[in-house]
A and B are shown apart, each in its own frame.
Chain A
Amino acid sequence: MSDEIKVGAYICKGCGLGERLDCGQLATIAEREGKANLVREHDFLCNAEGVAMIQNDIDNEGVNKVMIAACSRRSKTEAFNFENVAISRANLREGVIWVRPDEDEARELTQEMAADYVRMGCAEIKYMTLPHVSEEAASNNSLLVVGGGIVGMTAAIEAAAAGYPVTLVEKGGVLGGSAHDEYKRIPESMPYADPEDTGVADMVAKVQADSKITVHLNSTTTKTSGAPGRFSADISTESGSTTTENFGAIIMASGARNYDASQLPELGYGKTPDVVDQAGLEKLAMEANGGPIKRPSDGKEVGNVVFVQCAGQRSTEEGHLPYCSGHCCLTSIKQAMYFKDQNPQIDTNIIYSDLRTPGAGGEDFYRSGQQKGITFTKGKVSEVTVGANGPEVKFNDLILDQQVNEKADLVVLATGQIPNSGVDIDLPVAAADEDVDLDNLVPEVKVDSILNLTYRQGPDLPHLKYGFNDSHFICFPYETRRTGIYSAGPVRRPMDMAQAKEDATGAALKAIQALENAKLGRAAHPRSGDLSFPSFRKEGCTQCKRCTVECPFGAIDEDEERYPQFNEARCRRCGTCMGACPVRVISFENYSVETVGQQLKNVDIPDEFDEKPRILVLACENDAYPALDMAAQNGNHYSPFARVIPVRCLGSVNTIWVTDALNSGYDGIILMGCQKGENYQCHFVKGSEIAHVRMSKIDDTLQSLSLEEERVSTYEVAITDIERAPQLINDMAETVERVGMSPFKF
């Protein structure tokens, strides 16, 4: 194919466009103003014949840039999915005729709206090129799994079963993690009635027998660098020897540790050996090995055991865990069965506030516990004291509404899980080279990093809440803020063994997908398949570091000369770096300061006295833009003066667009992004937040131009804001009417 650029502009007349618009005029605009080399109108562009016409022009007329003026880019996407050409869409249906009344008096403004979208489509395509695959695209089929417990072993076995080699790194001397120290597990299959073998030994044997799995015991990951497809990890043994290996993707399965029960003296832990936590009980059960379980203080066979649920958890008290650890109710039932199955005469009492045994298996197991004679008491334990013959549990029986003092041979505290999630990179202490207010530093707790990433933004995965490395998204539990690195198991959120195995398998899939993407230079979701990546003009870069600091995915490092180093396979293509760059040297081949900037500059700005204002709307392509589409679909109308440009993320909005728009005579500007803050909905995590911060500083620009502040507004808009999104546009139209036209129309 020659390098010559040939733009084909296609104007659809279907869906009422032909009746509502003067398509001939639009074609002329595409040709004369848009400088399209070839312009065609079609009655029904998305049908087989229309599509074939475009394909024919691509194949035989040398068209390599396609501008389609028809419906929204969200409609008929599959029909207009041409390979090896750049495509832009002018939204004449959802963006113009559907948001305008079908009346003669409305015609002029509707036509002007359509004409502008054709100009914008032509301008965008001119500055857009077909992305070529990153030179950094790299192929490596191997996975690194950090952590050799149930989760790590499952991930390794499942990935290996799909044909991918795995290196498993375990800090300790044996595989199995905390499950290694459990007597039995909660049942994982029908009839969910009895504790069953943990399966750890089988799993270890399977790992050892698998030729695709290499195990490093007594080892940690002391340095990790690179990107999906080309990670490099130093695996160091306790004795100090280090090997360096390359990997395509990484799974972090560093698990959880038990809450330190000695923080619960009120529950008797530490005051007598006959108060244990769940791990302690597992140990006793292993020692008994099916025989009578004996209490630690004097070896007496336990005849009466009390389980205290939610010990030090689901509580806002200082030092307690605020969350529920998910597995403890089932674990206590299992442990009560250790006693009941050995001797049904033993009294087992589980004192709970809410018994949580979800699903089919959970509830069956609970019922089995009831049948075996376990007592379940809804109550609140206030204290465990040490009596003459053993511990005594003081609790308020919430059903009988009375204080009870129950004597027991043994008390088991159901304490929670704490994730081994490494360094919290968001703590201010991480910013060692910055000016930090030393008084505000949190007390330094020495936490070992799990991954020791050489990333500019810190050595571990960012924590979400309560130290867990979870995803923030309900629909995307494997969303990661470090592309190609997936956490799995209780480091991600509290969970039991069965769930942890399921989670490990899911994470293995995502890791495999990441390395497959890396081979082809493809982005991971939400911009799945996007081949573009950021590039920058080194000469112009001032080394301000905004891009490296603001990248929500930690994709950008700094090289030895302190220039940004983009690590393309880590990039998610949100464009936050592009929005951040004050000198505008960062761009994507299919999305740049020009592809958007030229659109807004090519809008026709009528004279101030025409009373035809222009409102620029920069809308997040995932939420606000679909909301506007659906508003159109439902017949909501909005101001004919709006010109909407979808952006990848509000984070990609460079303030130059706003400044340029103001200087070119736009009367109002609206930015529509996703929800920010703690419950952020922004798919690129911080984009919307960052944009709001940037825009809060736009007032200076407005002042310097002597323009009113209300001409620029930034909103959080959800995809369901089908009525609100058009209303925001109409509100701006009213504002403009009130404050008057911009004086900057030339």
Chain B
Amino acid sequence: MSDVIATNQTILVVGGGISGVTAAIEAAECGKQVILVEKNPSLGGRVSQLYKYFPKLCFPSCGMEINLRRMKANRNLNILTMTEVSAVSGESGNYSVTLKTSPRYVNENCTACGECEKAVESEFDSEYDYGMKKRKGAYLPFNMSYPQRYVIDPAMIGTPDAQNAKNACKYGAIDLDMQESETTLTVGAIVWATGWQPYDADKIQPYGHDRYDNVVSSVEFERMLDPFGPTGGKIVRPSDGKEAKDVAFIQCAGSRDRNHLSHCSRICCMATLKQTTYLREKYADDFKASVYYIDIRAIDRIDDFYQKVQDDENVSFIKSKVASITEDKDTGNPVLHGVDTEGYNRYDNPHDLVVLAVGMEPSVSKDSFPIDVVVNDSGFIEADEKNGGIFAAGCSSDALDVNRAVQSATASALRAIQVVNRVAGTEG
């Protein structure tokens, strides 16, 4: 990291998901010096864990490939992974930031040949698969990881397996003595793009995500569709591996709820509509999807996607906030209890699998920002002059879909450029 040069005309982008990556590339392609930091071993963020995007049902890795190409070709961009911002001080045009980099135990000599992975036995829960799958202790987080460089799990350090990995590497790429390092840089503006995390479904107690195998969250369901994922691309029940063909989707799981997230997470309705198409993709006409909802928020011109799903006879919509879920012990079926508010009919509906459309909450909690920023009740950063040269991008500013997050990131890049251009103007 010692070779990173930064001045108060440099833009720091915090977070390497699609918003941070976009802000960084867009600014760099305007000719600005940019440092992009990401706390995980790879760029990509949440979108890299998605099977498809709504409403086009296209693949997120396609856009990521373009963005990777843009990054590889750009000399204005400096990318630091496994790095977090531990402290920020100063003001617009002149911030001092302290970056803390965790050891990857693999240096730039790595060719991603994969020999270290073959040499180790230890396995850990895969973060990429929300713990639904194991990965090795020497691993590439996912197919399109960038940098395309292996990682050694810190828990493996000091074990014989770590030595096995090192011995398997012919290129001197594994350095088991690598230490955490810290560096302090000067930057002019900061784009804050730390994104979101899925709301912890276990907290919605009546739904039993922590008790019933066949109640999964929407992000876990999404992982099932990855051919390289935990179920090899099959929609199956975690309890018994049987095909799940009768699937319930519960909207606003944690969102629009004073006990959980008071905001609307915006994406969950469209995500569920999208996920009903996965059922059709896998099971043709042999499936049933039931969507329990308050309002279907398929906003603006993509409402036609909702109209299309409504036309699917195998998908039904029930206006109801589900009260609770119990489990039928004999079948393992989750049973949904509640009242259909259109006509006030009580129901006790069993399904093969329940998907909780969990909300988005900001990754960085309200009181954990390294510098004071104006944050609203939901924890999103407000656009406020008091934030000086710090600009929120993407889901750190509000619950946004990918398209809007990228818009927001592009706008933030300009706001950051305004600051560094002002600095350049006064300093020449």
Query: A residues touching B (Cβ–Cβ < 8 Å)?
Result: 14-16, 44, 46-47, 71, 74-78, 81, 158-159, 161-163, 188-192, 314, 316, 322-326, 352, 354-364, 367, 378, 398-399, 401, 465-466, 468, 470, 472-478, 493-495, 499, 502-503, 505-506, 508-510, 512-513, 516-517, 525-526, 528-529, 622-623, 626, 630, 633-634, 674-675, 679, 681, 683, 718-720, 722-723
Contacts and interface: CB of A to CB of B under 8 A. Distances in A.
Contacts of B70: 525-526, 528-529
Given A358-B297, A359-B263, A720-B227, 7 more contacts: A363-B262, A503-B407, A506-B410, A623-B62, A634-B228, A675-B58, A719-B65
A74 B300 CA distance: 37
B36 to A, nearest CB: 14
B384 A722 contact: no
Given A364-B263, A506-B410, A499 B111 contact: no
Given A466-B301, A494-B301, A47 B319 contact: no
B84 interface: no
A354 B296 contact: yes
B111 A14 contact: yes
B304 A512 contact: no
B403 A474 contact: yes
B365 interface: no
B160 interface: no
B295 A477 contact: no
Contacts of B31: 516
Contacts of A44: 109, 111, 170-171
B402 interface: yes
Given A364-B263, A493-B300, A719 B410 contact: no
B400 interface: yes
Contacts of A326: 299-300
B300 A360 contact: no
Ranked 7 nearest A-B pairs via Cβ: A475-B63, A506-B410, A505-B411, A509-B414, A360-B378, A324-B303, A358-B266
A516 B30 contact: yes
B56 A679 contact: yes
- Identify the interface centre among A159, A162, A516, A675: most chain B CB within 10 Å of its CB: A162
B144 A630 contact: yes
A161 B399 CA distance: 27
26 contacts: A77-B73, A325-B300, A326-B299, A356-B299, A359-B263, A360-B380, A360-B398, A362-B263, A399-B344, A475-B63, A475-B66, A476-B406, A502-B407, A506-B411, A509-B414, A510-B26, A516-B31, A528-B25, A529-B70, A634-B228, A674-B62, A681-B56, A718-B62, A719-B59, A719-B65, A722-B228
A162 B402 CA distance: 26
Nearest to A70: B111
A378 B342 CA distance: 9
B30 A509 contact: yes
Interface in B158-175: 170-171
Contacts of B402: 474-475
B314 interface: no
A358 B299 contact: yes
Contact of B411 (A324, A502, A623): A502
B410 A494 contact: no
Contact of B425 (A75, A163, A323, A683): A163
B216 to A, nearest CB: 22
B264 A359 contact: yes
A354 B29 CA distance: 41
B304 A323 contact: yes
A622 B295 contact: no
Contact of A525 (B29, B303, B376, B415): B29
A130 to B, nearest CB: 15
Nearest to B170: A14
A620 to B, nearest CB: 10
B18 interface: yes
A599 to B, nearest CB: 21
A526 B62 CA distance: 11
- Identify the interface centre among A355, A359, A360: most chain B CB within 10 Å of its CB: A360
Interface in B382-398: 382-384, 398
B363 interface: no
Contacts of B62: 475, 622-623, 674, 681, 718-720
B133 interface: no
A722 B256 contact: no
A675 B398 CA distance: 32
B280 interface: no
Contacts of A352: 295
A322 B304 contact: yes
Contacts of A516: 29-31
A470 B403 CA distance: 11
Nearest to A18: B170
Nearest to B173: A47
A158 B421 CA distance: 12
- Identify the interface centre among B69, B302, B377, B383: most chain A CB within 10 Å of its CB: B69
A474 B29 contact: no
Nearest to A160: B418
Contacts of A626: 61, 65, 144
Contacts of B303: 314, 322-324
A399 B341 contact: yes
Contacts of B65: 622-623, 626, 719
Contacts of B113: 14-16
A325 B298 CA distance: 11
Nearest to B303: A324
Interface string B282-308: 000000000000011111111110010
Nearest to A502: B411
Given A161-B418, A162-B421, A354 B295 contact: yes
Interface string B130-148: 0000000000000110001
Contacts of A494: 300-301
Contact of A162 (B342, B398, B418): B418
Contacts of A505: 410-411, 414-415
A97 B266 CA distance: 46
A526 B30 contact: no
A359 B398 contact: yes
Nearest to B264: A363
B53 interface: yes
B417 interface: yes
Contacts of A510: 26, 410
A190 B298 CA distance: 25
Interface string B255-271: 01000001110100000
Contacts of B92: none
A352 B294 CA distance: 12
B89 interface: no
A681 B400 CA distance: 22
A720 B57 CA distance: 12
A378 B319 contact: yes
A532 to B, nearest CB: 13
Contacts of B61: 626, 719-720
B100 interface: no
A160 to B, nearest CB: 9
B239 interface: no
Given A14-B170, A324-B298, A508-B414, A399 B380 contact: no
A529 B74 contact: yes
Contacts of A477: 403-404, 406-407, 410
